[in-house]
């Protein structure tokens, strides 16, 4: 954990931002996998971790803004619990580690909330993503579970986003340590992949490294010869000579901060000329868009720069035509690059996405586009020092999207359909790094650069 003062300061700032009322922050419970006692790996709620730091199930926090009191509701383990799960220090002792001196039994939570409700005080809570938390709020506050999120507190949401978006030095260190685990995951995947293995044989090694070096994965790893499927969670394919792999994966640091790194590499360790051509376009768009990142620049502009480099490279290869400027304005590049350039990264891999992407990535000066491709951009607003962001352009040949566009001859001024057809079956290429916005520019996180140029990737693939 960070020092107790870190959590106390965060709660103090939150009280200043929210101004009045009671803040209710439920922690997560264990989630059953196939019967009640057989649970998924426990993951605490990220906002609970941010303000209360305790990584335990079944607890919750109240911050009484008006009375300036912070309370943790938690029950110590009974002797029976200890027999099965082991001894843990009392919550009275553990709460001190996060600067909280008032600990009450869980059974008293209902009383505290209902008193506040009856005296007409505002109860602030965040949008909930687990059914159990919605039911709990229904029980405590009396709002039907289907409408719980409609009544979440905008003041609380905006305060959390303001605080969590700007990472302190100690948070950046956590993210950087997760990126260093990603270095191990990616270089191992490059080393172990070879024709004749099934994807899952390497997938297991990658996820094992995340567990052995940190708190496990920050999201289920994408590892596939079908890199054109953006979020592909199937790992049953046989890897063959000539196939190209996409590995998009991340680890959690000791304190649950995420990394999110993507590399693309050939199963046989050597890029073909066709693979090199596409790879180098993605690489150029990634490197040059990162170079324009600094405070005051809108991430939407960084996305558009990456898109123009992709369009320009595809024009040079004969897959697109016209000018890159016009093609991107019309959205024709989205046949190949249909997703956004990146997202915030922190305690969540898509940081704070559960609070509402519109609040996290957009603001009054930046509205979401409805153009196919650009509409998926999760972060568009102006960058500030302390933001940590992923930069992850890609080029994909998606057979069904290609057929869909071709049927309507969509953007035929810009797409050379005859030439693109030759690339169906190619798969996809994505390259992703985690980038800190500094006072004057940017820093690509990680103490060792993860192989990225063609030469570096081929050399990592050749390691025995």
CB of 434 to Mn ion, least distance (A): 9
Burial degree of 150 (CB within 10 A; 0-12, 13-18, 19+)? exposed
Given 390, 429, 451, 452, the residue binding Mn ion (CB under 5 A): 390
Residue 286 sits in the site that holds Mn ion (CB under 5 A): no
Tokens of 154: 């905008």
Exposure letters 363-381 (e unless 16+ CB within 10 A, then b):
eeebebeeeebbebbbbbb
Which of 10, 378 has the CB closer to ligand GLY?
378
Which of 219, 372 has the CB closer to ligand GLY?
219
Quote the CA–CA distance of 241 and 110 in Å, as a whole number. 62
Residue 260 sits in the site that holds Mn ion (CB under 5 A): yes
Which of 193, 221 has the CB closer to ligand GLY?
221
CB of 219 to ligand GLY, least distance (A): 6
Contact predicate 381/361, CB 8 Å? yes
Which of 164, 350 has the CB closer to ligand GLY?
350
CB of 436 to ligand GLY, least distance (A): 17
Which of 221, 312 has the CB closer to Mn ion?
221
Contact predicate 434/449, CB 8 Å? no
Residue 55 sits in the site that holds Mn ion (CB under 5 A): no
Binding partner of residue 388 among Mn ion, ligand GLY, none, CB under 5 to 8 Å per kind?
none
Binding partner of residue 192 among ligand GLY, Mn ion, none, CB under 5 to 8 Å per kind?
none
Which of 187, 388 has the CB closer to Mn ion?
388
Binding partner of residue 351 among Mn ion, ligand GLY, none, CB under 5 to 8 Å per kind?
none
Binding partner of residue 174 among Mn ion, ligand GLY, none, CB under 5 to 8 Å per kind?
none
CB of 342 to ligand GLY, least distance (A): 8
Q: What is the DSSP letter of 141?
A: H
Listing DSSP states for 411-453 in one string gives TTTTB-HHHHHTTTT--EEE-BEEEEE-SSSEEE--SS----S
CB of 219 to Mn ion, least distance (A): 8
Tokens of 32: 């059953």
Within 98-198, where are the H helices? 109-118, 131-141, 154-165, 169-192
CB count within 10 Å of CB 177 equals: 21
Q: Measuring CA to CA, how many Å separate 45 from each of 48, 62, 348, 433? A: 5, 15, 9, 25
Residue 388 sits in the site that holds Mn ion (CB under 5 A): no
CB of 345 to ligand GLY, least distance (A): 9
CB of 260 to ligand GLY, least distance (A): 5
Exposure letters 135-148 (e unless 16+ CB within 10 A, then b):
ebbeebbebebeeb
Binding partner of residue 193 among Mn ion, ligand GLY, none, CB under 5 to 8 Å per kind?
none
Which of 109, 344 has the CB closer to Mn ion?
344
Give the residues lining the site for ligand GLY (CB under 6 A).
Answer: 219, 248, 260
Which of 28, 390 has the CB closer to Mn ion?
390
Binding partner of residue 207 among Mn ion, ligand GLY, none, CB under 5 to 8 Å per kind?
none
Quote the CA–CA distance of 280 and 226 in Å, as a whole number. 19
Q: Which residue has the tokens 């004749």?
A: 196
CB of 115 to Mn ion, least distance (A): 43
3 state DSSP class of 97: coil
Which of 219, 359 has the CB closer to ligand GLY?
219
Residue 182 sits in the site that holds Mn ion (CB under 5 A): no
CB of 351 to ligand GLY, least distance (A): 11
Q: Which residue has the tokens 């992949």?
A: 193
Task: For the sheet with 442-444, list strands across it.
Answer: 388-391, 433-437, 442-444
Q: Which residues bind Mn ion (CB under 5 A)?
A: 260, 390
């Amino acid at each position: 954990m960070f020092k107790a003062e870190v959590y106390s300061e965060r709660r103090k700032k939150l009280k200043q931002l929210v101004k009045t009322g009671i803040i209710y922050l439920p922690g997560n419970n264990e989630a059953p996998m196939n019967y009640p006692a057989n649970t998924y790996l426990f993951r605490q709620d990220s906002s609970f971790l941010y303000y209360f730091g305790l990584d335990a199930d079944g607890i919750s926090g109240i911050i009484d803004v008006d009375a300036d009191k912070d309370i943790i509701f938690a029950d110590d383990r009974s002797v029976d619990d200890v027999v099965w799960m082991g001894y843990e220090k009392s919550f009275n002792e553990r709460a001190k580690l996060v600067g909280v001196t008032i600990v009450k039994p869980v059974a008293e939570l209902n009383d505290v909330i209902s008193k506040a409700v009856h005296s007409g005080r505002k109860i602030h809570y965040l949008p909930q993503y687990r059914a159990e938390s919605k039911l709990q709020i229904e029980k405590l506050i009396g709002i039907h579970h289907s409408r719980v999120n409609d009544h979440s507190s905008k003041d609380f949401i905006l305060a959390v986003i303001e605080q969590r978006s700007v990472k302190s030095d100690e948070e950046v260190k956590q993210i950087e340590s997760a990126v260093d685990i990603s270095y191990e995951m990616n270089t191992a995947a490059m080393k172990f992949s070879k024709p004749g293995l099934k994807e899952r044989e390497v997938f297991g090694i990658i996820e094992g490294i995340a567990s052995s070096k940190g708190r496990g994965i920050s999201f289920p790893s994408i590892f596939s010869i079908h890199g054109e499927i953006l979020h592909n969670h199937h790992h049953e394919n046989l890897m063959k000579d000539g196939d190209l792999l996409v590995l998009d994966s991340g680890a959690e640091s000791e304190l649950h901060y995420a990394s999110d790194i993507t590399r693309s590499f050939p199963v046989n360790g050597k890029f073909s000329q066709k693979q090199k051509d596409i790879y180098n376009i993605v690489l150029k768009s990634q490197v040059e868009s990162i170079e324009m990142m600094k405070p005051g620049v809108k991430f939407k502009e960084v996305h558009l720069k990456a898109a123009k480099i992709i369009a320009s490279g595809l024009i040079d290869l004969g897959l697109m035509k016209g000018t890159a400027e016009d093609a991107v304005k019309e959205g024709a590049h989205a046949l190949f690059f249909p997703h956004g350039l990146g997202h915030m990264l922190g305690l969540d891999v898509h940081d704070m996405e559960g609070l509402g992407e519109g609040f996290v990535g957009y603001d009054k000066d930046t509205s979401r586009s409805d153009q196919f491709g650009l509409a998926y951009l999760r972060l568009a607003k102006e960058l500030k020092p302390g933001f940590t962001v992923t930069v992850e352009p890609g080029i994909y040949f998606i057979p069904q999207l290609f057929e869909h566009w071709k049927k309507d001859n969509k953007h035929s001024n810009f797409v050379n359909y005859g030439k693109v057809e030759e690339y169906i079956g190619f798969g996809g290429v994505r390259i992703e790094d985690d980038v800190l916005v500094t006072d004057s520019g940017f820093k690509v996180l990680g103490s060792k650069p993860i192989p990225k140029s063609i030469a570096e990737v081929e050399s990592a693939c050749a390691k025995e």
